[in-house]
Structures are given as C-alpha cells and as structure tokens.
Amino acid sequence: MQLPLDSVLLRIFIGESDRWEGKPLYEAIVLKARELGLAGATVLRSPMGFGAASHLHTAKILRLSDDLPMVIEIVDTDEHINAFLPVLDSMVGGGLVTLERVKVLHYRHARAAAQPGPGAGQG
C-alpha cells in the first residue's frame, strides 16, 4: 500500500478505562482500523492529562491511575479516514477526535529496506 504525500492524521484522545463491547476502547479502535484496511495505527499512553471535565488523570497519585490518557493516531488518505469516521463515532462516547493534514515522507516496511539488492556484498 502506498500513501500519498498529502495525507490525513486522525488523532483520538480517550481514557484507558473506556470500553467498547467488553474490550478496551483503544484496542477495539485499532483492531477495527486494521479490519477496514487503514494504513496503520499507534496507541500512546500518557502519564498525565485532563479533558472536557477538567478531571486530572495522573500516574503520580499514590494509587496508580487505571484511567490514564490514551491517544490513538491513524494516518491514511482523506478518503479512508472519512470512511472510518462514522464507525469511530459509533465507538467513542466521550473524548476528543481531531484531524490534521500531514506530509508523508516515508511509509514502507522495514524489512524491505534492509534487504540487500542484486550484487550487494560483491566487490
């Protein structure tokens, strides 16, 4: 799969304890994105944050927070991201969803770049 130079970054801010159909919401979103053939997704876990309710979520409190901020980032074409948004809307109850235009510099499998070409090592 190739991504065009001009693509879209979908960023989803949710809580670690958010659920969808019995599994963590962040996991459900990534699995759904994969099922629908999106280019890729990454989940980031944050040690601190707050959202619309201004409730502070932090790992610094004596008890380890079980609702730390989570961010899911998905980069794909405008068309694929827009097709995914209604699915995402049905999954996310609360949180923040943003879109921004991005320039894709590289999108390739690491092993393909590591394989030597014809004649490599000869000399």
Q: Using CA atoms, how far apart are residues 20 and 31, in angstroms rounded to an integer?
A: 12
Contact assessment for residue 18 and residue 95, using Cβ atoms and an 8 Å cutoff: yes
Contact assessment for residue 15 and residue 89, using Cβ atoms and an 8 Å cutoff: no
Residue 56 pLDDT level (bands cut at 50, 70, 90): confident
Token couple for 67: 């609702």
Residue 115 pLDDT level (bands cut at 50, 70, 90): low
Residue 95: per-residue pLDDT: 93
Residue 31: per-residue pLDDT: 98
Q: Using CA atoms, how far apart are residues 69 and 14, in angstroms rounded to an integer?
A: 6
Count of Cβ atoms closer than 10 Å to residue 29 Cβ: 25
Token couple for 85: 């948004």
Mean pLDDT of 101-105: 95
Q: Using CA atoms, how far apart are residues 26 and 19, in angstroms rounded to an integer?
A: 8
All structural domains of the chain, each given as residue ranges with its CATH number in brackets, are 6-108 (3.30.70.120)
Which residues on adjacent β-strands are paired with residue 101?
A: 8
The answer to pTM > 0.85 is no
